[in-house]
């Protein structure tokens, strides 16, 4: 009877794709526990009214979850501590790139998705320190090659695909902390899954590749390793996945 979780971002109402994902998580719990986690680190887009509506809709669907519900926006200090551990070991570096610079540098797809080309990885320590001291906005990126040199080869288990060799290099040096928040999706979700005792991570197939990075973070932070299962996405009549930005029903 595993512990699973449904972890939407409250940036809009629950849509049919969310309902599918929540039902999948409940079914995979198979008599265990499905937790609800509100991934609201994007404080500019997340709204309390959307969070309340998501909980109400899940209850209406017969998918009510245990309380209290973990809200990521209440735990920035924890993510900062995890980030500082990686920085202290030389496994993360500041990234000063603007959105425009990233768009230009990442125009060519890498392994199916744009990957960060390492623009700020080669900055001298003195230049990094000078920019930070001068108040330059910056996020933090995981130095994936350095991290893998420390952990060695890793694997993870997907219930549909078996044991998979982790290939985080294909994802590039992902952001683990944003310019305005001491975490990114990758760091926060990995930390929370371990903290909440999630034994089976269920989520959409669009996040399959992200699991390579999450497995690496687990090894670096000495976190428990769950199993994963990625469900197919529900698509609309035009073959697009349901999304809040499209006001999906």
pLDDT (tens digit, 9 = 90+) per residue, 177-224? 999 899 999 999 999 999 999 999 999 999 999 999 999 999 999 999
In a domain, 188, yes or no: yes
Q: What is the pTM of this model?
A: 0.91
- Is 244 among the catalytic positions? yes
Peptide bond between residue 25 and the one before it cis (omega within 30 degrees of 0): no
In a domain, 147, yes or no: yes
Number of domains in the chain: 1
pLDDT (tens digit, 9 = 90+) per residue, 130-185? 999 999 999 999 999 999 999 999 999 999 999 999 999 999 999 999 998 999 99
**Measured CA distances, 162 to 103, 165, 168 (Å):** 35, 10, 18
Catalytic residue selected from 37, 138, 215, 244: 244
Do residues 243 and 17 lie in contact, with contact meaning Cβ atoms separated by under 8 Å?
yes
In a domain, 182, yes or no: yes
Lowest-confidence segment of 11-15, 47-51, 242-246 by average pLDDT: 242-246
Cα end-to-end span (Å), the chain: 32
Mean pLDDT, range 62-84, rounded to an integer: 96
Q: Which domain holds residue 107?
A: 75-246
Do residues 73 and 43 lie in contact, with contact meaning Cβ atoms separated by under 8 Å?
yes
In the chain, what are the helix, strand and coil shares in percent, each to the nearest 5? 40, 20, 40
State the pLDDT at residue 234: 82
State the pLDDT at residue 106: 52
In a domain, 138, yes or no: yes
CATH number of residue 145's parent domain: 3.40.50.620
Which two three-digit tokens encode residue 9? 């971002």
In a domain, 47, yes or no: no
State the pLDDT at residue 59: 96
Please give the residue that has the higher pLDDT: either 100 or 230: 230
Q: Is the pLDDT of residue 38 over 60?
A: yes
State the pLDDT at residue 104: 62
Q: In the chain, what's the furthest Cα-to-Cα distance?
A: 56
For helices 210-220 and 144-151, give the axis angle rounded to 10 degrees. 60
Mean pLDDT, range 51-75, rounded to an integer: 96
Q: How far is CA 67 from the centre of its chain?
A: 22
In a domain, 85, yes or no: yes
């Amino acid at each position: 009877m595993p512990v699973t979780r449904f972890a939407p971002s409250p940036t809009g109402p629950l849509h049919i794709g969310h309902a599918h994902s929540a039902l999948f998580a409940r079914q995979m719990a198979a008599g265990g526990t499905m937790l609800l986690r509100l991934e609201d680190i994007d404080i500019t887009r997340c709204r309390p009214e959307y969070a309340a509506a998501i909980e109400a809709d899940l209850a209406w669907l017969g998918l009510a979850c245990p309380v209290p519900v973990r809200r990521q926006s209440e735990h920035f200090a924890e993510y900062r501590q995890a980030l500082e551990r990686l920085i202290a070991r030389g496994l993360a570096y500041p990234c000063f790139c603007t959105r425009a610079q990233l768009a230009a540098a990442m125009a060519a797809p890498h392994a199916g998705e744009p990957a960060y080309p390492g623009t700020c990885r080669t900055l001298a320590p003195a230049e990094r320190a000078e920019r930070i001291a001068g108040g330059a906005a910056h996020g933090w990126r995981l130095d994936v090659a350095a991290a893998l040199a420390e952990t060695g080869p890793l694997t993870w288990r997907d219930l549909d695909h078996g044991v998979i060799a982790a290939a985080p290099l294909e994802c590039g040096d992902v952001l683990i902390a944003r310019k305005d928040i001491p975490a990114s999706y990758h760091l926060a979700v990995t930390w929370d899954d371990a903290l909440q005792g999630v034994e089976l991570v269920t989520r959409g197939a669009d996040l399959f590749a992200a699991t390579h990075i999450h497995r690496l973070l687990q090894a670096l932070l000495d976190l428990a390793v769950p199993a994963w299962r990625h469900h197919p996405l529900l698509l609309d009549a035009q073959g697009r996945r349901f999304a809040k930005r499209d006001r999906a029903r």
